[in-house]
Amino acid sequence: MGTLYIVATPIGNLSDLTFRAKEILESVDLIACEDTRHSGILLKHYDIKKPLLSFHSHSGTAKVDKIIAHLENGDDVALVSDAGTPGISDPGYVLIQAALEADAEVIPIPGPSAVITALSASGMPTDKFLYLGFLPVKKGRQTLFKEMAESKYTVVFYESPHRLVKTLSQLQDFLSKDAKVSVAKELTKIHETYYRGTLEEVLEKLPENIKGEYVVAIKNN
């Protein structure tokens, strides 16, 4: 039985691949990745040539079965996502569960994750935090906003550039005026920026044309 490695990859800066991640990617028989073109850029940068198999959120059970068959055949498989740690708001869970059920060893290779990277520079308490992944687009937003407002802990979530201003504006109805907010943009990339302050201050600081990737952290109580 082969081993399934859960390999964290950079969230922007290609130099953030760990030595061990590189060694594992060089040693496995197969790399399962979300987007073969996207992961191809990282692998080319490190001159790693391995067979790639696409595995994303819409991959059905047939893909999972195929990867499990490789493991049963004795192949070692690395699972990578487009960025960061597989399984953290990224596909992985179904495959990892199937691999464990098939008695394969599952070994994580730690590395970058946007949520931890953003929290580490947020200036907010990080001994306990509540991670909410992506907020729902339609139903359930108000309930989550209430939970955020009531939380004793730092709350952190991912937000798309199209919804960032809407979400922060809606939060104004739930959080206290002096709640702390940290919006991290394009972590580890050329346009890396932090907007920190109250909701009102952060909304004022944000540019008109919002692009890029964002992590929001808030501390209300």
Name the minimum Å distance from CB 5 to ligand SAM. 15
Torsion of CA 148, 151, 156, 160, to 10 degrees: 0
- Where b means 16+ CB within 10 Å and e means fewer, 20-53 reads ebbebbeebebbbbbeeeebeebbeeeebebebb
Distance (Å, rounded) from C-alpha 71 to C-alpha 105?
Answer: 9
Among 15-23, 69-77, 84-92, 170-178, which window interacts with ligand SAM (CB under 6 A)?
84-92
125, two tokens: 């308490």
* Crossing angle of the two packed helices 61-72 and 93-101, in degrees rounded to 10: 40
CB contact at 8 A, 171 and 199? yes
User: If you write DSSP's letter for every residue of 148-161 in order, what string do you get?
Assistant: HHH-SSEEEEEE-T
* Crossing angle of the two packed helices 164-171 and 141-150, in degrees rounded to 10: 60
Our finding on whether 193 is near ligand SAM (CB under 6 A) is: no
Our finding on whether 114 is near ligand SAM (CB under 6 A) is: yes
Our finding on whether 33 is near ligand SAM (CB under 6 A) is: no
Figure out which of the listed residues 5, 55, 145, 158 binds ligand SAM, where binding follows CB under 6 A. Answer: 158
Among 20-28, 69-77, 81-89, 142-150, which window interacts with ligand SAM (CB under 6 A)?
81-89
Name the minimum Å distance from CB 57 to ligand SAM. 9
Give whichever of 2 and 85 is closer to ligand SAM, judged by the CB atom: 85
User: If you write DSSP's letter for every residue of 27-62 in order, what string do you get?
Assistant: H-SEEEES-HHHHHHHHHHTT----EEE--TT--HH
Among 23-31, 79-87, 102-110, 165-173, which window interacts with ligand SAM (CB under 6 A)?
79-87
- Partners of 134 in the beta sheet? 158
Figure out which of the listed residues 188, 194, 198, 206 binds ligand SAM, where binding follows CB under 6 A. Answer: 188
Figure out which of the listed residues 39, 113, 122, 220 binds ligand SAM, where binding follows CB under 6 A. Answer: 113
Figure out which of the listed residues 64, 68, 76, 84 binds ligand SAM, where binding follows CB under 6 A. Answer: 84
Figure out which of the listed residues 32, 67, 90, 156 binds ligand SAM, where binding follows CB under 6 A. Answer: 90
**How many residues belong to the site for ligand SAM (CB under 6 A)?**
21
Binding site for ligand SAM (CB under 6 A): 11-12, 81, 83-85, 88-90, 113-115, 158, 184, 186-189, 213-215
